[in-house]
C-alpha cells in the first residue's frame, strides 16, 4: 500500500484521541484528529478522507449529527462509531444513519485497526467488482466470459473458479481473508465450504502454473495471497 489512506478521527477525550492517532499513523494511516463534531465537519469539508472514525458523545456536535452531515455530502465514505453506550437503540440509530461498524469502549486499538481494514477491503472489493478484465502476469482474465487466456490458449473457468479468481485479483499482492472469501462466495464459512474453497484454490494454481511469476500462496491462519508482477492486476 504505497499511498497512505486518510482517516478522519473525531474524539473529544484528548488522551484517547492522541493515542489512537499515534497508533493509526504507526499502522500507516494518515490520521487527522478533531476534538469535537463541529471541528470534524470543517475538516471533512476541507480534506479528502477514505474513512471516518467518530465518537458518539462529543461537544458542539455529536457523532450521529456529524455522520448525518457527512452522509449528505458523501453517501459512500465508511463510518465507524466509537461509543461508551451499549444501548441497543443507540446502536440501531447508528446503523440507520449509515454506520459501517460500531465499536464499544473500552476496546483494543488492534481491534479497531482490524475493523478498519475489513471495511476498506469490502469497499475495495465493491469498486473492483465492476471490472471485467484483469492482467495476471502473462494471463488475461475476462470475468464476464469466465475465460483465462494466455497467448492462443483459452481456459473456460467454472463460476466458482471465476468468482474466487476475481476476489484474488481485487486483492492482488494483499491477503484475501479466508472468512471474507467464504462469506462472499459461499455465504457460509462452515467446514464443508472451507474444504471446497481449498479445492478451487488448487484448481486455480493448476490453471496459472504456466507463468512462474504468478503464484497463489497460503497465509497461515489468515487466507491466501495472489502474487503477481502487475501492480494493477
Shared domain for 114 and 174, answered yes or no, is no
Query: Residue 232 domain-assigned?
Result: no
Shared domain for 98 and 185, answered yes or no, is no
Last residue of a domain, one of 101, 127, 153: 127
Query: Residue 182 domain-assigned?
Result: yes
Shared domain for 18 and 110, answered yes or no, is yes
Q: What CATH number should be reported for the domain holding residue 184?
A: 1.10.10.10
**What is the enclosing helix (H) or strand (E) of 3?**
none
pLDDT of residue 30: 94
Query: Residue 233 domain-assigned?
Result: no
Give one DSSP letter per residue of 45-110, joined into a string. HHS--SEEEEESS-SSS-HHHHHHHHHHH-SSS-EEEEES---HHHHHHHHHHT-SEEEESS--HH
Q: Hey, what's the cell of 42?
A: 470543517
Shared domain for 114 and 152, answered yes or no, is no
Q: What is the pLDDT of residues 106-135, one digit of tens each?
A: 888 888 998 888 888 777 666 655 678 899
Mean residue pLDDT across the chain: 88
Q: What is the pLDDT of residues 140-158, one digit of tens each?
A: 999 889 999 999 999 999 8
Q: What CATH number should be reported for the domain holding residue 109?
A: 3.40.50.2300
Shared domain for 169 and 150, answered yes or no, is yes
Q: Which domain holds residue 82?
A: 5-127
Shared domain for 123 and 173, answered yes or no, is no
Amino acid at each position: 500500500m504505497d499511498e497512505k489512506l486518510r482517516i478522519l478521527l473525531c474524539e473529544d477525550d484528548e488522551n484517547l484521541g492522541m493515542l489512537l492517532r499515534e497508533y493509526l499513523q504507526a499502522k500507516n494511516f494518515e490520521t487527522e484528529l478533531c476534538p469535537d463534531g463541529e471541528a470534524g465537519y470543517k475538516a471533512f469539508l476541507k480534506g479528502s478522507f477514505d474513512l471516518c472514525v467518530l465518537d458518539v458523545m462529543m461537544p458542539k456536535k455529536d457523532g450521529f449529527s456529524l455522520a448525518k452531515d457527512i452522509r449528505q455530502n458523501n453517501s459512500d465514505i465508511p463510518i465507524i462509531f466509537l461509543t461508551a453506550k451499549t444501548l441497543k437503540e443507540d446502536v440501531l440509530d447508528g446503523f440507520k444513519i449509515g454506520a459501517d461498524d460500531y465499536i464499544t469502549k473500552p476496546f483494543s486499538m488492534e481491534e479497531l485497526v482490524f475493523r478498519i481494514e475489513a471495511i476498506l477491503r469490502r469497499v475495495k472489493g465493491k469498486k473492483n467488482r465492476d471490472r471485467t478484465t484483469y492482467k495476471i502476469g502473462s494471463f488475461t482474465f475476462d470475468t464476464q466470459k469466465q475465460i483465462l487466456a494466455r497467448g492462443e490458449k483459452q481456459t473456460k473457468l467454472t463460476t466458482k473458479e471465476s468468482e474466487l479468481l476475481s476476489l484474488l485479483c481485487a486483492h492482488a499482492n494483499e491477503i484475501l481473508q479466508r472468512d471474507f472469501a467464504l462469506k462472499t462466495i459461499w455465504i457460509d464459512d462452515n467446514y464443508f465450504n472451507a474444504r471446497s474453497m481449498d479445492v478451487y484454490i488448487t484448481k486455480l494454481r493448476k490453471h496459472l502454473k504456466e507463468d512462474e511469476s504468478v503464484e497463489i500462496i497460503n497465509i497461515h491462519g489468515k487466507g491466501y495471497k495472489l502474487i503477481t508482477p502487475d501492480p494493477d492486476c
